[in-house]
Structure 1
Amino acid sequence: MGKKAALLIDGGALRALCKQNGRLIDDPNYIEKVALACFDSAEEDVFRIFYYDCAPYSGELKLPVSRTSKVFKGNDSWQHQLAQKNFFALRRGRLKFVDWDLKAPMAPGKTPSDADYSPKFQQKGVDMRIGLDMATLAAKGGVERVILLTADTDFIPALKLVRTEGLQVVAVNLPGTRFNLEFLEHVDIKRPVAWPP
């Protein structure tokens, strides 16, 4: 019997890595393959796979140039499909509209149009949920290892707590992951993981 391990996936971080590596982004079957590849089946048993993300934005926004209203209808059906997979627990934050960003620098003399802008959103509540689940796993003692698919230094206090409580921390190193040295100081194992086919 192997060590009980919980995997915590920052969906935003995984999506960014998938995009830069030409991988499927919102496919629950592919996300499941990536998640299972993060475990060392020779020495770990899956306790749970926590997936943290926000539902796509739904709401009405005023376009930046014309000031006309546009309705955004996000489709989160893939997240519901993911939550139904074995061992998965979906934890959702929310997206907040921040501003409109220019897609590319404007040519001199060009009149801007709505098409030149894309909406900028910010995740709310995702990091907090990851930190709380790490603290809960450390306090309840149901696992021996916490595997993280993120490189966010905001989690350093939670990493310290998890290790202080006797759990081992594994950082998943998918191609394209960039770790801050300070983050790695609070990790027991840096695990290279290849993209599944």
Structure 2
Amino acid sequence: MKNVAVLIDGGHVRVLARNAGMNYNPDYIEKIAKACVEPDEDAFRFFYYDCAPYSGTIKLPVSAEPKTFAGSDAWLRELAAKDLFAVRLGVLKFRGFKPKKILPAGQAVTDNDFKADFEQKGVDMRIGLDIATFCASKAVDRLVLLTGDTDCIPAMKYARIAGLQIVLVGFPNRAASNEMLCHADIERRVAWPAQ
């Protein structure tokens, strides 16, 4: 039996699951995590990396009226309370506004022509730190990664040098990238669990 830790980049998996028509919630995240563990593996822990929804007040780009975002992190607390789950949170930063589309010349611009632009910060660093911790502790034999972030490649290389096996998970609507597969030991294709 191989001891494994499953590391889930929430932003990455959320987009893939929603594009596949799945309802993304704590129960479904748990199903995805468990589907990534093979019968000859024993799950040490499931690590979920994401950001809480943005909370704060910003000024709209045209009218300068205030707009308040009051996202709830209740679903992250629910996930963290599940057996064997650990939730690691980065920070969601507001980066301004982006136009939804290019408007014809002369058309009046309104607030509705823009969407808020947010950026996750610190998620890939937390994944890398946990990978490095496993290299030192040897608590697991294998790391199962659900990410498409190439910023994780240096940590993947380090883990392999330290003797850990890296499993990179791909889904039906998105295979793992060749760039990342070069630094993994095993590619694992996982079907979306039934809802």
Band of TM-score, shorter chain: over 0.9
Which residue pairs with 2:177 in the alignment? 180
Give the C-alpha shift of residue 76 in structure 1: 1.0
Task: Say which is worse superposed, 96-105 or 71-80, in terms of deviation.
Answer: 96-105
Alpha-carbon distance in structure 2 between the residues aligned to 1:89 and 1:53: 11
Alpha-carbon distance in structure 2 between the residues aligned to 1:193 and 1:178: 10
Alpha-carbon distance in structure 2 between the residues aligned to 1:36 and 1:180: 22
Q: Identity over aligned residues, as a percent?
A: 52
The runs of 5 or more residues in structure 2 that have no matched partner are none
> Which residues of 2 match residues 142-153 of structure 1 at below 5 A?
142-153=139-150
| TM-score relative to the length of structure 2 | 0.96
Alpha-carbon distance in structure 1 between the residues aligned to 2:43 and 2:175: 25
Alpha-carbon distance in structure 2 between the residues aligned to 1:103 and 1:19: 20
Alpha-carbon distance in structure 2 between the residues aligned to 1:178 and 1:103: 28
Task: Say which is worse superposed, 118-127 or 103-112, in terms of deviation.
Answer: 103-112
Aligned with residue 28 of structure 2, among 8, 22, 30: 30
The runs of 5 or more residues in structure 1 that have no matched partner are none
Aligned pair count reads: 194
Task: Provide the aligned C-alpha RMSD in A.
Answer: 1.0
Runs of 4+ aligned structure 1 residues displaced above 6 Å come to none
1:191 equivalenced with 2:188 (yes/no): yes
Give the C-alpha shift of residue 39 in structure 1: 0.7
* SS of equivalent residue, structure 2 residue 7: strand
1:171 equivalenced with 2:168 (yes/no): yes
Which residue pairs with 1:13 in the alignment? 12
1:89 equivalenced with 2:89 (yes/no): no
> Which residues of 2 match residues 1-197 of structure 1 at below 5 A?
2-25=1-24, 27-40=25-38, 42-197=39-194
Instruction: Assess if the C-alpha contact under 8 Å between 1:153 and 1:180 holds in 2.
Output: no
- Specify the code of the residue in structure 1 equivalent to 2:63: S
| TM-score relative to the length of structure 1 | 0.95
Cα shift readout 1:63-91 (whole Å, capped 9, x = no counterpart): 01101111110111101000000110000
Alpha-carbon distance in structure 2 between the residues aligned to 1:18 and 1:123: 18
Instruction: Assess if the C-alpha contact under 8 Å between 2:169 and 2:176 holds in 1.
Output: no
Instruction: Assess if the C-alpha contact under 8 Å between 1:11 and 1:53 holds in 2.
Output: yes
Instruction: Assess if the C-alpha contact under 8 Å between 1:151 and 1:177 holds in 2.
Output: no
Task: Say which is worse superposed, 175-184 or 185-194, in terms of deviation.
Answer: 175-184
Give the C-alpha shift of residue 15 in structure 1: 1.0
